[in-house]
Amino acid sequence: MTGWPRLPLPERMSPEQAAIHDSSVARFGGPYGPRLPLVLAPGLHAPWAEMSERLAAGALPGRLRELAILVTARFWGADFIWYAHEDPALAAGLPPRTLDLIRAGKPVEGTAAERAVAEVVTELLERHRVGDRTHARAAELIGTGCLVELTVLVGHYSGVAFLLAVHAAPLPGDAGRPLSAPTEEERP
């Protein structure tokens, strides 16, 4: 699939729109990724990008951040998020087995902190709340500040998943469909 079937980009873009478009294309090697729809709502791009950058540079260790992003991607079936974060997760030290477990929707078998993060994310997404025991365990293992950051991270990446889903985001040709079945158009 090429292009964004539900995202008609303007033929003539303002300088602000063109900058968003060009930065998105440069970042992902083509017209992919969650920033591209923001061409149509350019006032949202800067605060959205700033939130992404702050979360990437936050206190939550990269290994736990990437784990949370992948659990969120799995929950929403967000192939692009998985595609964009699989290599960073491995580079942050998550073993391939952990990624396989997440992809299969099974409990994580990592460190106590990894298990706690996965439990918080899963409870939050599935139940829309986090139980006292899960909260206390996570706060003890990663700290309350990181738990707040984790919550914002899950909300942010849920929003990314929604943005990609509503606008039928294409995947780069080499991405496959790591989380979901091929669409009707993609079936042979």
Range with lowest mean pLDDT among 6-10, 39-43, 60-64, 134-138: 6-10
Region 152-181: mean pLDDT is 85
Q: Say what the pTM is.
A: 0.90
> Are the C-beta atoms of 106 and 99 separated by less than 8 Å?
no
> Residue with structure tokens 């669409």?
183
Residue ranges per structural domain of the chain: 13-57, 58-165
Per-residue exposure over 9-48, b if at least 16 CB sit within 10 Å of its own CB, e if not:
eeeebeeebeebbeebeeebeebbbbbbbbbeebeebeeb
What is 58-165's CATH number, 1.20.1290.10, 3.40.630.10, 3.50.50.60, 3.30.2130.10? 1.20.1290.10
Task: Quote the CA–CA distance of 96 and 114 in Å, as a whole number.
Answer: 14
The 10s digit of each residue's pLDDT in 114-151 is 999 999 999 999 999 999 999 999 999 999 999 999 99
